[in-house]
Amino acid sequence: MAPTLLLAALLASPPTAPTISGPTIASDSVVTAVVPAAPGLALPARPGVARYQPRHLLLQTGGGVGMLSVGGGLSFARRRLDLDALLGYVPARHAGTALTIASAKVKYAPWQLPLGGSGLAFTPLAVGVYGSYTFGLRNTGEEGQYPDDYYWWSRTMRVGPLLGSSLSYTLPDAPSGRARRLTAYYELATNDLYGLSYYLNRRALSLSDIATLALGLKLEI
């Protein structure tokens, strides 16, 4: 279901320019062309370009992608599918050198349960994957330092699965009419190297040994 909706959303909104039919409109005029929305999608009738502006801002700690990470993201499929990008920082005292970590994640949360009329909603499960690239590591190999394939894994790139849940609080609508929420979330994740270590040592290691925890806030704008 989710990939179909994502595809529909993408088809409905080409990234370059809105689909405009009828008489030619001057480039500086206000574009009000109606984008055909996919059935079942509650997307506002706005130029496609706007859909690629971040729809939410993120502030996070942990999860292997920064002591402090900030970012933004897009939502698709009635805000069940999030595509996020974060930039994180780890000071040298915690990692030997100061690290900057760029990460991206895709998260899918199929259920949102309103909690009475309190304005709160609980999202019991989100699943996703993330990838990260770390800048600033000390020893990642210089030209000619190692023979080919001396170390088979990347020192800078990590990928891993994640799962989590969240609690949202409804805020006043944005001027555009979009519903806004402030969401507190956690994510349990791991990475490829921890996952491999666990897979090869299921007696000595447990899932909790390889788990990382991220805590974050998401503000829809």
Partner 1 sequence: MPPFFSSSFLRNALVGALATGLSACELVEFSPNDHRARADQKDLTAKNLAHLTAAPLSPGDTLRFVFAGDSQRFYDDAQDLVRSVNQQPGIQFMLISGDISDFGLGREMRWIDNELRKMKVPYLTVIGNHDHVANGREAYQEIFGPLNYSFVYADTKFVLIDTNSREYNFNGRVPDVPWLRGQLADLNGASRSVVISHVPPQDGDFDPNLRDAYAGTLRETSSLVFEMNGHRHDYGVGQPFNDGVTYVNSYAFEKRKYLIVTVFGDKQFRIKQVSF
Judge contact between 177 and 163, C-beta under 8 A: no
140: part of which helix (H) or strand (E)?
A: none
Q: Which of 3, 32, 209, 221 binds partner 1 (CB under 8 A)?
A: 209
What gap in Å lies between CA 136 and CA 125, rounded to an integer? 34
x/- track of binding to partner 1 for residues 130-159 (CB under 8 A): ----x--xxxx-x-xxx----x-x-x--x-
x/- track of binding to partner 1 for residues 14-53 (CB under 8 A): ----------------------------------------
Judge contact between 189 and 208, C-beta under 8 A: no
Q: Which of 74, 95, 104, 182 binds partner 1 (CB under 8 A)?
A: 95
Judge contact between 101 and 90, C-beta under 8 A: yes
> Which one, 70 or 137, has the nearer CB to partner 1?
137
Q: How many CB atoms lie within 10 A of CB 67?
A: 15
Taking CA atoms, 58 is separated from 70, 198, 217, in Å, by 5, 30, 6
Q: First CA to last CA across the chain, in angstroms?
A: 26
| Residue 178 found at the interface with partner 1 (CB under 8 A) | no
Q: Which of 174, 184, 201, 221 binds partner 1 (CB under 8 A)?
A: 201
Number of residues engaging partner 1 in binding (CB under 8 A):
57
| Residue 197 found at the interface with partner 1 (CB under 8 A) | yes
| Residue 120 found at the interface with partner 1 (CB under 8 A) | no
* Candidate ranges 2-10, 19-27, 175-183, 204-212; the one touching partner 1 (CB under 8 A): 204-212
Both structure tokens of 85: 């990008």
Q: Which of 16, 24, 29, 208 binds partner 1 (CB under 8 A)?
A: 208
> Which one, 172 or 202, has the nearer CB to partner 1?
202
**CA nearest to 60, candidates 94, 22, 104, 29:** 104
